[in-house]
Amino acid sequence: MIDLLILQSGVPTSGSEFVDQYGPALISAATTVLLFVLMFAITYYLGKKVLVRATEQSLQSRGLKTGLVSLAVSVVSTLVLVAAIAVAATVAGFGAILTAFATLAGALALGLSFAAQDLISNFVSGVFIIKDEPFKVGDWIEWDGNEGIVKKINLRVTQVETFDNELVTVPNNQLATSVVTNPVANETLRVSCDFGISYDDDITTARGAVIDTASSIEGVLADPEPAAPVTELGDSAVVLTGRVWIEPRKHSAAAIEAAFREAVKQRFDAEGIDMPYAHTTLTGGIELETNQEASVVSSSTE
Protein backbone atom coordinates (compact mmCIF):
# COMPACT_ATOMS: atom_id res chain seq x y z
CA MET A 1 0.00 0.00 0.00
CA ILE A 2 2.75 2.45 0.96
CA ASP A 3 4.73 1.53 -2.19
CA LEU A 4 1.66 2.26 -4.28
CA LEU A 5 1.26 5.66 -2.59
CA ILE A 6 4.90 6.44 -3.30
CA LEU A 7 4.45 5.66 -6.95
CA GLN A 8 1.30 7.75 -7.15
CA SER A 9 2.43 10.74 -5.10
CA GLY A 10 6.17 10.71 -5.47
CA VAL A 11 8.81 10.76 -2.77
CA PRO A 12 8.16 13.36 -0.03
CA THR A 13 10.92 15.95 0.35
CA SER A 14 10.04 17.12 3.86
CA GLY A 15 8.61 15.82 7.12
CA SER A 16 5.35 17.67 6.65
CA GLU A 17 4.87 16.17 3.20
CA PHE A 18 5.60 12.68 4.59
CA VAL A 19 2.98 13.18 7.31
CA ASP A 20 0.48 14.53 4.82
CA GLN A 21 1.00 11.66 2.40
CA TYR A 22 1.42 8.64 4.69
CA GLY A 23 0.12 9.81 8.04
CA PRO A 24 -3.47 8.56 7.60
CA ALA A 25 -2.32 5.17 6.27
CA LEU A 26 0.18 4.71 9.07
CA ILE A 27 -2.36 5.74 11.71
CA SER A 28 -4.90 3.32 10.22
CA ALA A 29 -2.36 0.51 10.18
CA ALA A 30 -1.23 1.23 13.73
CA THR A 31 -4.85 1.38 14.90
CA THR A 32 -5.61 -1.94 13.26
CA VAL A 33 -2.57 -3.62 14.78
CA LEU A 34 -3.30 -2.12 18.20
CA LEU A 35 -6.92 -3.24 17.98
CA PHE A 36 -5.82 -6.74 16.98
CA VAL A 37 -3.33 -7.00 19.86
CA LEU A 38 -5.81 -5.57 22.35
CA MET A 39 -8.66 -7.90 21.36
CA PHE A 40 -6.31 -10.90 21.26
CA ALA A 41 -5.00 -10.15 24.76
CA ILE A 42 -8.48 -9.65 26.23
CA THR A 43 -9.97 -12.76 24.58
CA TYR A 44 -7.00 -14.98 25.42
CA TYR A 45 -6.86 -13.74 29.01
CA LEU A 46 -10.58 -14.31 29.59
CA GLY A 47 -10.42 -17.72 27.92
CA LYS A 48 -7.51 -18.85 30.06
CA LYS A 49 -9.09 -17.54 33.23
CA VAL A 50 -12.57 -18.87 32.59
CA LEU A 51 -12.61 -21.80 30.16
CA VAL A 52 -9.27 -23.43 31.02
CA ARG A 53 -9.76 -23.08 34.76
CA ALA A 54 -13.37 -24.31 34.53
CA THR A 55 -12.29 -27.33 32.49
CA GLU A 56 -9.52 -28.23 34.92
CA GLN A 57 -11.73 -27.90 38.01
CA SER A 58 -14.59 -29.81 36.38
CA LEU A 59 -12.43 -32.77 35.40
CA GLN A 60 -10.65 -32.87 38.76
CA SER A 61 -14.00 -32.89 40.57
CA ARG A 62 -14.99 -35.97 38.53
CA GLY A 63 -11.92 -37.81 39.81
CA LEU A 64 -10.19 -38.22 36.46
CA LYS A 65 -6.50 -39.05 36.28
CA THR A 66 -3.88 -36.32 36.23
CA GLY A 67 -2.74 -37.28 32.73
CA LEU A 68 -6.21 -36.88 31.26
CA VAL A 69 -6.77 -33.59 33.07
CA SER A 70 -3.46 -32.25 31.74
CA LEU A 71 -4.33 -33.39 28.22
CA ALA A 72 -7.77 -31.74 28.34
CA VAL A 73 -6.28 -28.50 29.67
CA SER A 74 -3.72 -28.47 26.84
CA VAL A 75 -6.42 -29.02 24.22
CA VAL A 76 -8.66 -26.28 25.66
CA SER A 77 -5.69 -23.90 25.88
CA THR A 78 -4.96 -24.48 22.19
CA LEU A 79 -8.60 -23.87 21.27
CA VAL A 80 -8.62 -20.66 23.32
CA LEU A 81 -5.51 -19.47 21.48
CA VAL A 82 -7.07 -20.17 18.08
CA ALA A 83 -10.34 -18.52 19.13
CA ALA A 84 -8.50 -15.43 20.40
CA ILE A 85 -6.70 -15.05 17.07
CA ALA A 86 -9.97 -15.49 15.16
CA VAL A 87 -11.86 -12.93 17.27
CA ALA A 88 -9.03 -10.39 17.14
CA ALA A 89 -8.65 -10.78 13.37
CA THR A 90 -12.39 -10.35 12.83
CA VAL A 91 -12.64 -7.22 14.99
CA ALA A 92 -9.51 -5.71 13.39
CA GLY A 93 -10.93 -6.20 9.91
CA PHE A 94 -8.80 -9.15 8.79
CA GLY A 95 -11.84 -11.12 7.67
CA ALA A 96 -10.60 -11.93 4.16
CA ILE A 97 -7.22 -13.03 5.43
CA LEU A 98 -8.88 -15.08 8.16
CA THR A 99 -11.14 -16.80 5.61
CA ALA A 100 -8.21 -17.70 3.40
CA PHE A 101 -6.27 -18.95 6.39
CA ALA A 102 -9.21 -21.09 7.55
CA THR A 103 -9.55 -22.64 4.09
CA LEU A 104 -5.84 -23.42 3.95
CA ALA A 105 -5.88 -24.80 7.49
CA GLY A 106 -8.84 -27.05 6.66
CA ALA A 107 -7.08 -28.46 3.59
CA LEU A 108 -3.90 -29.07 5.58
CA ALA A 109 -5.86 -30.73 8.39
CA LEU A 110 -7.58 -33.06 5.92
CA GLY A 111 -4.29 -34.03 4.32
CA LEU A 112 -2.57 -34.57 7.65
CA SER A 113 -5.46 -36.67 8.94
CA PHE A 114 -4.90 -39.19 6.14
CA ALA A 115 -1.12 -39.11 6.53
CA ALA A 116 -1.20 -39.50 10.31
CA GLN A 117 -3.84 -42.18 10.81
CA ASP A 118 -1.51 -44.41 12.83
CA LEU A 119 -0.39 -41.45 14.93
CA ILE A 120 -3.98 -40.46 15.67
CA SER A 121 -4.89 -44.09 16.44
CA ASN A 122 -2.00 -44.37 18.90
CA PHE A 123 -2.95 -41.06 20.48
CA VAL A 124 -6.60 -42.07 21.00
CA SER A 125 -5.52 -45.47 22.30
CA GLY A 126 -3.19 -43.76 24.76
CA VAL A 127 -6.07 -41.67 26.08
CA PHE A 128 -8.17 -44.78 26.69
CA ILE A 129 -5.26 -46.62 28.32
CA ILE A 130 -4.69 -43.74 30.73
CA LYS A 131 -8.43 -43.47 31.43
CA ASP A 132 -9.36 -47.18 31.75
CA GLU A 133 -6.09 -48.25 33.40
CA PRO A 134 -5.86 -51.88 32.21
CA PHE A 135 -2.33 -51.65 33.58
CA LYS A 136 -0.16 -49.13 35.42
CA VAL A 137 3.52 -48.27 35.58
CA GLY A 138 5.28 -51.13 37.35
CA ASP A 139 2.81 -53.82 36.27
CA TRP A 140 3.87 -57.05 34.59
CA ILE A 141 1.87 -57.49 31.38
CA GLU A 142 1.65 -60.08 28.60
CA TRP A 143 0.41 -59.42 25.04
CA ASP A 144 0.80 -61.20 21.68
CA GLY A 145 3.43 -63.57 23.05
CA ASN A 146 5.44 -60.75 24.65
CA GLU A 147 5.81 -59.81 28.30
CA GLY A 148 7.58 -57.29 30.49
CA ILE A 149 7.30 -54.59 33.14
CA VAL A 150 5.60 -51.31 32.21
CA LYS A 151 8.06 -48.46 32.68
CA LYS A 152 6.27 -45.48 31.13
CA ILE A 153 2.88 -44.78 29.53
CA ASN A 154 2.84 -41.96 26.98
CA LEU A 155 0.00 -40.78 24.78
CA ARG A 156 1.56 -42.37 21.69
CA VAL A 157 3.62 -45.31 22.98
CA THR A 158 4.16 -47.41 26.08
CA GLN A 159 7.65 -48.39 27.18
CA VAL A 160 8.04 -51.95 28.50
CA GLU A 161 11.17 -53.50 29.97
CA THR A 162 11.54 -57.22 29.21
CA PHE A 163 12.94 -59.76 31.65
CA ASP A 164 16.12 -59.75 29.56
CA ASN A 165 16.51 -56.04 30.48
CA GLU A 166 15.56 -54.85 26.99
CA LEU A 167 13.49 -51.69 26.58
CA VAL A 168 10.62 -52.24 24.13
CA THR A 169 8.58 -49.32 22.76
CA VAL A 170 5.06 -50.52 21.96
CA PRO A 171 2.55 -48.41 19.94
CA ASN A 172 -0.53 -47.85 22.07
CA ASN A 173 -2.94 -49.08 19.41
CA GLN A 174 -1.36 -52.56 19.67
CA LEU A 175 -2.03 -52.68 23.39
CA ALA A 176 -5.53 -51.22 22.95
CA THR A 177 -6.58 -53.78 20.32
CA SER A 178 -4.80 -56.88 21.70
CA VAL A 179 -5.66 -59.15 24.61
CA VAL A 180 -3.45 -57.87 27.44
CA THR A 181 -2.94 -60.07 30.49
CA ASN A 182 -2.06 -58.33 33.74
CA PRO A 183 -0.99 -61.04 36.24
CA VAL A 184 -0.35 -58.49 39.00
CA ALA A 185 -3.69 -56.71 38.78
CA ASN A 186 -5.09 -58.65 41.77
CA GLU A 187 -3.66 -59.18 45.22
CA THR A 188 -2.97 -62.89 44.66
CA LEU A 189 -1.86 -65.01 41.71
CA ARG A 190 -1.90 -68.78 41.21
CA VAL A 191 1.28 -70.43 39.93
CA SER A 192 0.98 -73.93 38.45
CA CYS A 193 3.67 -76.51 37.70
CA ASP A 194 3.19 -79.99 36.18
CA PHE A 195 5.01 -83.01 37.65
CA GLY A 196 4.91 -86.44 36.03
CA ILE A 197 5.24 -89.63 38.10
CA SER A 198 5.43 -93.26 37.10
CA TYR A 199 2.27 -95.35 36.90
CA ASP A 200 3.89 -97.63 39.50
CA ASP A 201 4.29 -94.81 42.06
CA ASP A 202 1.69 -94.03 44.71
CA ILE A 203 -0.31 -90.91 43.84
CA THR A 204 -1.09 -90.04 47.46
CA THR A 205 2.58 -90.15 48.44
CA ALA A 206 3.62 -88.03 45.45
CA ARG A 207 0.84 -85.51 46.11
CA GLY A 208 1.91 -85.20 49.74
CA ALA A 209 5.50 -84.58 48.68
CA VAL A 210 4.46 -81.84 46.24
CA ILE A 211 2.21 -80.07 48.75
CA ASP A 212 4.72 -80.32 51.58
CA THR A 213 7.49 -78.98 49.35
CA ALA A 214 5.30 -76.12 48.14
CA SER A 215 4.51 -75.07 51.71
CA SER A 216 8.21 -74.68 52.49
CA ILE A 217 8.95 -72.26 49.61
CA GLU A 218 9.28 -68.61 50.62
CA GLY A 219 6.51 -66.49 49.17
CA VAL A 220 3.90 -69.26 48.90
CA LEU A 221 0.71 -68.40 50.77
CA ALA A 222 -0.81 -70.75 53.32
CA ASP A 223 -4.31 -69.57 52.37
CA PRO A 224 -5.36 -70.66 49.80
CA GLU A 225 -3.52 -73.89 50.53
CA PRO A 226 -1.24 -75.53 47.94
CA ALA A 227 -2.83 -78.34 45.96
CA ALA A 228 -1.69 -81.07 43.57
CA PRO A 229 -4.60 -82.69 41.67
CA VAL A 230 -4.12 -85.29 38.93
CA THR A 231 -4.69 -83.39 35.69
CA GLU A 232 -3.58 -85.88 33.05
CA LEU A 233 -2.95 -89.58 32.45
CA GLY A 234 -0.19 -89.36 29.90
CA ASP A 235 1.43 -92.01 27.72
CA SER A 236 4.33 -92.48 30.10
CA ALA A 237 3.37 -90.60 33.29
CA VAL A 238 0.60 -89.60 35.66
CA VAL A 239 0.66 -85.80 35.75
CA LEU A 240 0.09 -83.95 39.03
CA THR A 241 -0.28 -80.16 38.76
CA GLY A 242 1.17 -78.37 41.76
CA ARG A 243 -0.79 -75.18 42.44
CA VAL A 244 0.35 -72.46 44.82
CA TRP A 245 -0.81 -68.90 45.49
CA ILE A 246 1.50 -65.91 45.83
CA GLU A 247 1.35 -62.12 46.17
CA PRO A 248 2.63 -61.05 42.73
CA ARG A 249 3.62 -57.53 43.81
CA LYS A 250 5.89 -58.92 46.52
CA HIS A 251 7.31 -62.05 44.89
CA SER A 252 8.24 -62.94 41.33
CA ALA A 253 6.04 -65.62 39.79
CA ALA A 254 8.92 -66.85 37.61
CA ALA A 255 11.24 -67.17 40.62
CA ILE A 256 8.60 -69.04 42.64
CA GLU A 257 7.94 -71.43 39.75
CA ALA A 258 11.64 -72.17 39.27
CA ALA A 259 12.16 -72.80 43.00
CA PHE A 260 9.05 -75.00 43.09
CA ARG A 261 10.21 -77.23 40.22
CA GLU A 262 13.72 -77.65 41.62
CA ALA A 263 12.54 -78.41 45.15
CA VAL A 264 10.01 -81.03 43.97
CA LYS A 265 12.64 -82.73 41.78
CA GLN A 266 15.00 -82.99 44.75
CA ARG A 267 12.18 -84.30 46.98
CA PHE A 268 11.16 -86.96 44.45
CA ASP A 269 14.79 -88.07 44.10
CA ALA A 270 15.12 -88.34 47.86
CA GLU A 271 11.94 -90.42 48.22
CA GLY A 272 12.56 -92.58 45.17
CA ILE A 273 9.59 -91.29 43.19
CA ASP A 274 10.24 -91.80 39.51
CA MET A 275 9.76 -88.90 37.08
CA PRO A 276 9.58 -90.72 33.72
CA TYR A 277 10.20 -89.04 30.42
CA ALA A 278 8.83 -89.85 27.02
CA HIS A 279 10.83 -92.46 25.11
CA THR A 280 10.30 -94.76 22.15
CA THR A 281 11.02 -98.51 22.16
CA LEU A 282 11.56 -100.34 18.88
CA THR A 283 10.55 -104.04 18.81
CA GLY A 284 10.82 -106.74 16.18
CA GLY A 285 13.67 -108.18 14.14
CA ILE A 286 15.44 -108.13 10.78
CA GLU A 287 15.11 -111.12 8.44
CA LEU A 288 17.76 -111.76 5.79
CA GLU A 289 16.85 -113.89 2.76
CA THR A 290 19.46 -115.56 0.50
CA ASN A 291 18.69 -115.98 -3.22
CA GLN A 292 20.36 -119.36 -3.82
CA GLU A 293 19.15 -119.57 -7.45
CA ALA A 294 20.91 -116.35 -8.37
CA SER A 295 24.03 -117.65 -6.69
CA VAL A 296 24.00 -120.91 -8.78
CA VAL A 297 23.55 -119.03 -12.06
CA SER A 298 26.44 -116.81 -11.19
CA SER A 299 28.72 -119.81 -10.45
CA SER A 300 27.88 -121.61 -13.72
CA THR A 301 28.60 -118.49 -15.75
CA GLU A 302 32.05 -118.28 -14.30
Q: Is 285 helix (H, G, I), strand (E, B) or coil?
A: coil
Same domain assignment for residues 76 and 26: yes
* 25 falls within a domain: yes
Same domain assignment for residues 25 and 118: yes
* 296 falls within a domain: no
* 302 falls within a domain: no
Say which residues have a Cβ less than 8 Å from residue 150's Cβ, sequence separation at least 6.
135, 136, 137, 138, 139, 140, 141, 158, 159, 160
Q: What are the strands of the beta sheet with 238-246, ordered from one edge? A: 189-197, 238-246, 230-233
Return the amino acid letter for 41.
A
Same domain assignment for residues 57 and 154: no
Q: How many folded domains does the chain comprise?
A: 3
Same domain assignment for residues 34 and 123: yes
Instruction: Kindly report the pTM of this predicted structure.
Output: 0.59
CATH of the domain at 88: 1.10.287
Same domain assignment for residues 143 and 217: no
Residue 213 belongs to domain spanning: 189-271
Same domain assignment for residues 40 and 84: yes
Same domain assignment for residues 113 and 163: no
CATH of the domain at 250: 3.30.70.100
What is the rounded end-to-end Cα distance, in angstroms, of the chain? 123
* Dihedral pair phi/psi, residue 7, rounded to 5°: -65, -35
* 5 falls within a domain: no
Question: How does pLDDT run along the chain (302 residues), one tens digit per residue?
Answer: 444 444 445 555 555 655 555 556 666 667 777 877 888 888 888 888 888 888 778 777 777 666 667 767 777 887 888 788 777 777 767 665 566 666 666 766 666 566 567 777 887 888 888 878 888 888 999 998 899 999 988 878 899 999 899 999 999 988 988 899 999 989 999 999 999 999 999 999 999 999 999 999 999 999 999 999 999 998 889 999 999 999 998 998 999 999 999 999 999 999 999 988 766 666 666 676 655 555 554 555 55
Say which residues have a Cβ less than 8 Å from residue 4's Cβ, sequence separation at least 6.
none
Please state, in angstroms and rounded to a whole number, the distance separating the CA atoms of residues 268 and 237.
14
CATH of the domain at 176: 2.30.30.60
* 218 falls within a domain: yes
Same domain assignment for residues 102 and 31: yes
Q: Is 133 helix (H, G, I), strand (E, B) or coil?
A: coil
Same domain assignment for residues 118 and 152: no
